[in-house]
Amino acid sequence: MPYDYRKDQPTNRMDTPVSLGSRASVVTPSNDDFPEYAKAIEVIAAGTLVFLPTQNDDADTITVTAEVGYTTNVNVRRVLPATTATVIAIFD
């Protein structure tokens, strides 16, 4: 499924790359996009992390071996089933 601008984070406030999110939830890896794109994801149990930044094509996933505390520096729309790490999604 392609990028959907309606799922992006609100732009009605001063947001910066280092501003904090206001909500978080544990992620169940899936082949589906989040209902709302995440500001970032953070690893809370180490493992392989396979994710899709918001504006990447579906086939253009990112795979990293992530330690606890690893946090993406891009918005994320999907964490794929190949992920073995436990992650939380951070939302505004």
- Report the C-alpha gap between 54 and 67 in whole angstroms: 22
Report pLDDT for 42. 96
Task: Look up residue 26 and give its two tokens.
Answer: 């544990």
Is residue 6's pLDDT more than 90? no
- Report the C-alpha gap between 46 and 43 in whole angstroms: 7
Report residue 59's pLDDT band, with 50, 70 and 90 as the boundaries.
very high
Report pLDDT for 14. 56
**CB within 8 Å of 78: residues ≥ 6 apart:** 30, 31, 32, 33, 34, 51, 52
For the residues 79-92, what does the mean pLDDT come to? 95
pLDDT digits over 13-45, tens only?
555 556 778 789 999 999 999 999 999 999 999
Class of residue 73 by CB neighbours under 10 A (exposed 0-12, middle 13-18, buried 19+): exposed
Report pLDDT for 2. 82
Is 84 or 21 the better-scoring residue by pLDDT?
84
Report pLDDT for 13. 56
